[in-house]
Structure 1
């Protein structure tokens, strides 16, 4: 029987972390790690459909969703700090054994946690979460210019990604039919990105993303050494993380449940039912 999703908050290191939770805690746990510019909202279908068999936890990172949004003078927005906060969140909930589902920003958050605590990770479900340089697509051009020299001129082209048109593109580019994507997604993101300091915070994270690439060899070594069960459910038309990013995992993981979909960056929006059925079968297989 499917369980209702609960919308909760918990204090972690002085800040309120919002999270969605569904399912029985006695069942295997799956931690759902969201991408930019979204929140736990992107996993609403997973929470609704898989709560009958699994315990599902989907936190909003600091500055995202319904979590606290400290000013950038109070909290330094880096992937190290976001991951540290999520790890502290899981420890406070006493969740010590779990699979992770990663997408976009969920990959640098999830791989930091996995490399710090490999014994806690039972499996990885990867929907367009990158860990290889060959997985960086053409849409990184402006961000790479920011990495080379951060100033007003290199920040300016990125500001368009924070408006409604840019946000809609994030969700609909590469889809078979944009009418398959719920416009609530980019409208919710637009509300959050309209808050004071939101543009600066997200530019800080764009700039810090270069430090994720420096960690790719460490994450790849984790994959080689630990061989976590891996399910790939990847939208191949993603301008940020094209199919080459999915293919690259084959270099380090010997056995992959590998699935490619004819859709974009947020594959769950257009192919959620098919992907969720793959997750169900994959998660069931972990207990055998």
Structure 2
């Protein structure tokens, strides 16, 4: 009996002490496997810069690349990642200097929209994502349209949530930035600095909303922490100054829409001081297959109208694909 107990104990110890390399079929997962709606928080190195990104859904499903705006990050798509991962593969990168991605100095990285689009395109190629819809908001539009015009065969559809591509889509809030474009000096730079304060960032999220209490204050608090890092104001001013080069590309982006006619879903907050409804309506000039939706909210329409917008995305994508 004692011998039997000893043998059993040895077998039990061997079972518990398996090598980490022993195959565990039931628990092994890979990056390409999905566990439903759980969002994964991942990183990928692109030319020496760590790009943080959120990913959800099964990669075998149609992919939507979620491109964030200013002053935010992939955090702005948290509801979309949770709500649409049952039907779609969703991937939301943070640009260099934003969110949880690396924040290299301006000596190490050129903060222009050309360069950020190059980085995000390289990110998609390294991920081997070659067929995708683009959801763009604010800064996501100049980055997304650069990617789309360079790779039109890869883009299955465009979803624009206050992502502008037309001169008539630039609202009154651009006046101070236009002065800055005309003459960059200490005075025109200082005039823009209030936008980086806690109150200025809060305004980005709450202005034009039906009820500011609908907006999670974590949004602007996260942005304020990032905007408080050394050199953050300088780098964001550089991007604002470079934004004028986006306007020069508007004709190219409009030609892309006319020539390639990607299906376009417009989900636009009409009370946006930066990109008013006139910017949404302008897409009708060039796109035949357009699903046009306007909401009584502000710049970050997902904060108040996420459920309605997600249902629009679901129906639009299924119809388009």
For the superposition of Structure 1 and Structure 2, which TM-score range results when normalised by the shorter chain? over 0.9
Q: 1:99 aligns with which of 133, 136, 140?
A: 133
**Secondary structure of the structure 1 residue equivalent to 2:317:** helix
Does residue 45 (structure 1) correspond to residue 45 (structure 2)? The answer is: no
TM (normalized to structure 2)?
0.89
2:280 to 246, 255, 263: 246
Which residue in 1 is equivalent to 2:62? Answer: 28
Residue 157 of structure 1 and its aligned partner are, at CA, apart by 1.3
Work out the CA distance in 2 between the residues paired with 1:157 and 1:7: 37
2:262–2:289 Cα contact (<8 Å) kept: no
> Are residues 1:278 and 2:312 paired?
yes
Contact kept in structure 1, 2:161 and 2:267, CA below 8 Å: yes
- Structure 2: 5+ residue stretches without partners: 1-34
Q: Structure 2 CA distance, aligned partners of 1:11 and 1:75?
A: 14
Does residue 124 in structure 1 map to residue 158 in structure 2?
yes
Return the TM-score normalized by structure 1: 0.99
Count of aligned residue pairs for this structure pair = 287
2:297 is matched with which residue? 263
Q: What do the CA deviations read for 1:138-195 (whole angstroms, capped 9, x no partner)?
A: 0000000010000110001110001100000000000000000000000000000000
Give structure 1 regions of 4+ aligned residues with deviation exceeding 6 angstroms. Answer: none
Give 1:285 shift: 1.2
Alignment-derived partner of residue 187 in structure 2: 153
Q: How far does residue 255 in structure 1 lie from its aligned partner after superposition?
A: 2.2
Return the offset for 1:2.
4.2
Contact 1:2 1:49 in 2 (8 A): no
Query: Which structure exhibits the higher relative contact order, with contacts defined as CA atoms closer than 8 Å and separated by 6 or more residues?
Result: 1
Which runs of structure 2 are paired with 1:49-198 in the superposition (5 Å)?
Answer: 49-198=83-232
Deviation by residue 1:19-51 (Cα, 9 ceiling, x = unmatched): 000000000000000000000000000000000
Q: Are 1:230 and 2:283 an aligned pair?
A: no
- Larger C-alpha radius of gyration, 1 or 2? 2
Q: Which runs of 5+ in 1 are unaligned?
A: none
RMSD over equivalenced CA pairs, Å: 0.7
| Contact preservation (8 Å) 1:77, 1:204 | yes
| 1:6 aligned partner | 40
Shift of 1:286: 2.3
